Structure 1
């Protein structure tokens, strides 16, 4: 009996360890599994023989693994990872050839992942509290960021033939600290046009001066959303009414709050077609110099201090781009085709969302490191729970 216990003990321990590792993986990707089933068979129309074994959700699972495991650095390393039995079991994928991986970026349409991204964003919890949470619940910070591309990526237009780049246009749900929607384009593009193609109803868009376009203002209003957009301080305005500034607004830096008859001069077409509001905020830049932020909005009902606060949250999208490039490593492109880069960017955004959903807070470098060790089995369940508890204390 003693010999029998000795022989079966290690096997039982190995089985328990493997089960624990699978459980960790399931908990991380549980919100995603049901959504991935929708795209499982997408792109298989050409498979008349019915012998395809590598599907869309398999490819996306490998891309998610690429961002979670820092030892994976290329498409070839992903192919090699599929050779290991535990990888295949935990991801539910078959062994895949390098040729199948390369073909995938041509077969699988990245547009099918975009709805999955949006649904995952709906699962994230808001971080704001009090009157800010109520007033800024649908605050969506918008910006674009360039990712350097190789000169041979001819589709990625930018400055010249030697300087190629792709731009990720991101709608960031500032109240939750998560990406809500994204599209990819060549770096040489129009940011207002990119936002116009992504507009949704019920949003409060906050943007910098690169999006200051009367036509964009009109489009945002037409879809049933609102905006707070910074404009140049030399813009021509026709003041209808000066509003009083409350003490709270003054403390937030508001120095002027006016109702405008129209934007621009009488010699130009009134594209917006309705009165607007201008809130001027005195802000201090990083170099210590003072500057005026001219913020145009259609929200007459919002307190002026909340207008100033909403614009400050625009920086959240800038910080997220830093996370995406410097921590997740999304600036290293594993594919050179337009569809392949888009799939990689969507996978990076999905990883960020899964972390936010699992931890209940904005992803940080330390949390990301802890999750990597947790998935490897080098951080226990109790240690991971203690880390999450610490995050909740800091956000409360």
Structure 2
């Protein structure tokens, strides 16, 4: 007799199963599938992410050791490394991309009022990319350099809750600035970027949305000052100027005025020159917005350390993208669970606890809060009494 749910099953209670079926049907994921469905594939890959498995053999060995608990955790198909490898190889990775977008939408609604250090009415995004190195002989499709392969994960991070709102995966040769061509621009939002995204035509497209940007200028950027505003140098500010580009092509591609702010970071002894089309915010707030861009660097560092996106279970482009999108969806799913259960622990601690307790039968809230909370179990009518009354 089964009493209670496993931790894994309770985590999957936050999984949008009905919407996932629509994603599967959209790309015919379960077409001609007899036993190992797309949901079984997702459960196996989610298990690998949550328990830090390193290979398909590792996944198979650990899950078969828990064979008697798999059915009550949601598994319906037989777990086999060859079957999982075939699923990762052949089932469309866009199924899991669409799933991740559904979870991202839900998570952003939950975290939209989270504070990131600046009280602003606008939505603030940080845009950057992270390179994942691959062996070119094993992943010949991942073009990067002559003797080196890689893929890039271009990410737009919503600083309210550090939720990725847009992710675009390309090979390593694609320059960062090209992602601005496919980036969905939100009216009134602020996009904070490093100098790799300084492209006059693409920035002007953001300005015409209309949306705002804060980007670091390059050392050879030619500008002409129109007028200046006074600044408080005690805050690290050096100038706040209204400028225009001086080059012929630069003026043609970005004909409007810009705001130039120079800031000295005393902690790092770093001089920054920032360009923005936002003229109503204080200059120090613009500088603080760029400082908050560091959150996306921490996000990349975190997911590379705690999710399986550096070692892959397959070598094809489909298998790699499937694993990355499932890893992202697991990250978002845990973030949703954390918010809905109102857990005070950080995501790192939650993942560490889950990695050791996935097949334990204990209340998830009790496990993560270490409280004495217990769910009342109903009386079992067919339980025999040892002593009669």
TM-score normalized by the length of structure 2: 0.82
Pick from 137, 143, 146 the counterpart of residue 160 of structure 1.
146
SS in 1 for 2:10: helix
Q: 1:349 to 1:338 in 2, by over 3 A?
A: same
Matches within 5 A, 1:367-378: 367-377=350-360
User: What 5-or-longer segments of structure 2 have no aligned partner?
Assistant: 372-389
Checking the alignment, whether the CA contact within 8 Å between 2:144 and 2:171 is kept in structure 1 is: yes
Distance 1:187 1:93, change over 3 A: farther
CA distance 1:134–1:282, shift in 2 (3 Å): same
Residue 105 of structure 1 corresponds to: 88
| Per-residue Cα deviation, 1:107-146 (whole angstroms, up to 9, x for no partner) | 33323433432332333314644982434x4211111111
2:379 aligned residue: none
Match of residue 180 from structure 1: 165
Q: Work out the CA distance in 2 between the residues paired with 1:315 and 1:343.
A: 27
Q: State the match for 2:230 in structure 1.
A: 244
- Aligned CA distance change for structure 1 residues 60 and 46 (closer, same or farther; 3 Å): closer
Spell out the pairing of 1:68-79 with structure 2 (5 A cutoff).
68-70=50-52, 72-79=53-60
Describe the shift of the 1:267–1:375 C-alpha distance in structure 2 as closer, same or farther (beyond 3 A).
closer
Query: How far does residue 341 in structure 1 lie from its aligned partner after superposition?
Result: 1.1
Higher helix share: 1
Judged with a 3 Å threshold, the aligned counterparts in structure 2 of structure 1 residues 212 and 325 are, in CA distance, closer, same or farther, namely same
**Which residue is 2:253 aligned to?**
271
Corresponding residue for 1:347?
Answer: 326
Indicate how the Cα distance of structure 1 residues 254 and 32 shifts in structure 2: closer, same or farther if over 3 A, else same.
Answer: farther
Instruction: Please state if 1:327 is matched with 2:306.
Output: yes
Matches within 5 A, 1:44-59: 44=28, 47=31, 50=32, 52-59=34-41
Classify the secondary structure of the residue corresponding to 1:233. coil
The separation in 1 between residues aligned to 2:224 and 2:254, in whole angstroms, is: 14
Q: What is the 5 A alignment of 1:154-233?
A: 154-161=140-147, 163-202=148-187, 203-233=189-219
Superposition deviation, residue 68 in structure 1:
0.5
TM-score (norm 1): 0.80
Look up the SS of the partner of 1:318 in the other structure. Answer: helix
- Among residues 280, 283, 289, which one is paired with 2:262 in the alignment? 280
Q: How far apart, in 2, do the equivalents of 1:223 and 1:362 lie?
A: 39
Moved over 6 A (4+): none
CA contact (8 A) 1:356 1:362 kept: no
Larger CA deviation: 88-97 vs 149-158: 88-97
Inter-partner Cα distance in structure 2 for 1:97 and 1:184:
28
- Work out the CA distance in 1 between the residues paired with 2:320 and 2:116: 40
- Partner residue in 1 for 2:106: 123
Contact 1:28/1:358, CA 8 A, preserved across alignment: no
Q: Which residue of 1 aligns with 2:385?
A: none
- Cα-to-partner distance string for 1:316-356 (whole Å, 9 max, x where unaligned): 11111111111223211112111211111111211221222
2:255 counterpart SS class: coil
**Structure 1 residues without counterparts, runs of 5 or longer:** 1-10, 388-396
Distance 1:68 1:99 in 2: 21
Q: Distance in 1 between matches of 2:274 and 2:264?
A: 11
Question: Aligned pair in 2 of structure 1 residues 131, 315: CA closer, same or farther (>3 Å)?
Answer: closer
- 2:272 counterpart SS class: strand
